[in-house]
Structure 1
Amino acid sequence: MPSLMIALTTLPSRDAAAALARHLVDARLAACVNILPACHSIYRWQGKVEAADEVLLIIKTSKTRQLALEQLICNMHPYELPELLYVPIAGGLNAYIQWIQQETLS
């Protein structure tokens, strides 16, 4: 199995999410980015419990693109500390796996 992963991040608006998703795909750092609206987050930040409506991005990428993906997200993200989590892809439809590899130049 190739070294592929899903990266997750949240943004404050659909426009910000769409702009970041477009940059990731244009730069071949992601094969595909799903934008899921209407996420409501409750979290502790700087000693206080906060709540915010956010947009979730599900980013399909390869391990070889992780550092560049992380740099782009940190540079473009409006949050002081962006959420960025990686989940390894353990398997999937072989043709889809190959497509992720091809589109991320891995």
Structure 2
Amino acid sequence: MKSEITVLNVTQTSRTLALVVAILTVFIAGIGIMTLAASAQTDITFKFIIPITVTDTASAFLLYLFLPFYTLAATYILVAAFCIAYNLVAKYTGGITFQTKPQ
């Protein structure tokens, strides 16, 4: 059976994907904080939308604390922009078509 995705709900899709990325980033930040506690890392660079580089431990700790919020906001904005663009294009192209198989 063929189905088409013609409209993406911008807020729901953006919120869901941003929360998934934020939850994954919490684990990454936890690993980063543990490496800071072990003094294994000195320079940290985070390159997503706005590149951030820190060289001292206190700034690195703050970066890891705010990293989930930063990725949540950035992912929400990027996914919302994608959904808006998709909805505009899908009006003319019909959207993504996929085929499902009944079980």
TM-score by length of 1: 0.25
Question: Whose strand proportion is higher, 1 or 2?
Answer: 1
Bigger relative contact order (CA 8 A; separation at least 6): 2
TM-score by length of 2: 0.25
Larger Rg: 2
